[in-house]
Amino acid sequence: MKQAFKVGLWLIVTVMFVGIPATPLYAEDGLQTLRQTSKAFTSVAQKAIPAVVSVYVERTVEVRNPYGYGSPFEDEFFQRFFGPRFQRPSEKQVQRGQGSGFIISPDGYILTNNHVAGQSDKIMVMLNDGREFEAKLIGADPKSDVALIKVDAESLPVIELGDSDTLEIGEWVIAVGNPFRLAQTVTVGVVSAKGRAVGILEDAEGYEDFIQTDAAINPGNSGGPLLNLDGKAVGMNTAIYSQSGGYMGIGFAIPINMAKFIKEQLVDSGKVERGYLGVGPNRFGLTPELAREFGLENNHGALIASVLPGSPAEKAGLRPEDVVLEFDGKEVRDWNSFRNAVGMTRPGTTVNLLVWRDGKKMTVKVKIGALEDAPQVAVTETRLGIQVQELDERMAREFGYKPGSGVLVAEVEANSSASEAGIQPGMLILSVNRKPVSTVKEFNDAISKASDKVLLRIQTEYYTQYVLLPMK
């Protein structure tokens, strides 16, 4: 009996002295991992902060209303007595703004956003060490929201540019910037998604391929770097999704590879040249139903719905119903990624497209054209509810019009003022408010100068008429 007691006691003691220390040991391992992660964040921050700058801008704008809020009532008062065309005299006012940027070369080149510095009359840059410089705008690109500025300095700290193509969802990232004028703010999060197109740059017909992150980004962070754990910039913080104006867990950054493409051209020439192919997308993309109809395993790819006559695509032999699966060896996820790939290719470059056609894969070699040489087509005037495009020689022959005599109506929105007035696709708009228009740009310029109504001179196959449309 005594012997049995001794055995039992030994077992209990063994558990007490062998089992219990295991829990603190595991906890210590976890703490050690967290300490190493924390040191990684600290190391990146210490390295990056000296190269992150505050960007202060000024721009002069004309305003018709120097009295601030409430003055629309005054305008209504004056219009009631002086007529609807009355406009108060404009005054010039100076607007001031603030954002972030990061130094990418020791001699003072700085990346920031176009919406921070692109339209500015004066740009001031403050470094982390307190020095201030007036910066020169080297160039800006509204279509990507990238701007390049430069200060006259030497031996500046820099942030190395990484490779955004290698980023993975769930990877740690660090945002550095100056939100709400709180300089050198560091926040940490992960890559939440890639390849986001959210319509931020719609007005500029922009190229969107945003990195989505939950690293806190707020007003003032725009233009600051998004860094990986190696301290390299993998993105440029640009926008947030917010219903309050502040951080709600969703921020967007321009991939650094896109920013590098823009930066290199701005340094070389001060402007950006983009690639052009001359194909049109299917309105609703490559749906799962269409993918099955074409015999594809999934709906990854870009479905070509139209090929413009004389375009690089036509010369290469691309056809409607072709589905582009790869662009020069890289997977094409959807139309947006395909458009971005084309746009980020220098004109004159020859690339290979992996295409799905008639149930088989094939390679099509195509020489990319220049976007600036492409005809302007399919531009929508939402206030009238119509979509117009330029009249090339082929369409002129098809519709029986004289080339260059106007812009062709491509689409008309249902229940729009244009639809109610009887305007239909295929009609030719000869003039806007008695001013002849022969290009999409001339049409848009004329519409932008209109106030409450617009007078269109329209030609059909059988007659010419004037139509007066109200503006929305």
Asked about 120 being catalytic, the answer comes back as: no
> What's the whole-model pTM score?
0.73
Q: Which of 269, 289, 314 is the last residue of a domain?
A: 269
Cβ neighbourhood burial of 323 (10 Å; 0-12, 13-18, 19+): buried
- 271-322 pLDDT, tens per residue? 899 999 988 887 678 999 999 999 999 999 999 987 877 889 999 999 989 9
Asked about 145 being catalytic, the answer comes back as: yes
Task: Write down the catalytic residue from 54, 115, 214, 438.
Answer: 115
Same domain assignment for residues 364 and 383: no
Same domain assignment for residues 265 and 179: yes
**pLDDT recorded at residue 78:** 45
Q: Where are the alpha helices (DSSP H) in 202-316?
A: 256-269, 288-293, 312-316
Same domain assignment for residues 348 and 283: yes
327 in a domain, yes or no? yes
Same domain assignment for residues 353 and 420: no
Task: Write down the catalytic residue from 100, 120, 145, 214.
Answer: 145
Shortest CA distance to 352 belongs to which of 384, 382, 383, 318? 318
* 246 vs 151 pLDDT, higher one: 151
Q: How far is CA 185 from CA 37, 115, 191, 256, in A?
A: 19, 20, 19, 20
Same domain assignment for residues 342 and 407: no
Same domain assignment for residues 385 and 367: no
Domain count, the chain: 3
Q: Which domain holds residue 443?
A: 379-470
Same domain assignment for residues 289 and 367: yes
Q: Which residues contact 317 (CB under 8 A, 6 or more apart)?
A: 364
152 in a domain, yes or no? no
**pLDDT recorded at residue 452:** 80
pLDDT band at residue 26 under the 50/70/90 scheme: low
Statement: residue 399 has pLDDT above 80: no
368 in a domain, yes or no? yes
88 in a domain, yes or no? no
Task: Write down the catalytic residue from 54, 164, 222, 311.
Answer: 222
Q: Which of 321, 343, 373 is the last residue of a domain?
A: 373
**Per-residue b or e along 428-443, where b marks 16 or more CB atoms closer than 10 Å to that residue's CB:** bbbbbeeeebbbbebb
Same domain assignment for residues 253 and 329: no
Asked about 230 being catalytic, the answer comes back as: no
Under the phi-then-psi rule, with left for phi > 0, alpha for psi from -120 to 50, and beta for the rest, what region is 7?
Answer: alpha
Same domain assignment for residues 265 and 192: yes
Q: Which of 373, 401, 418 is the last residue of a domain?
A: 373
Fill in the amino acid letter for 26. Answer: Y
432 in a domain, yes or no? yes
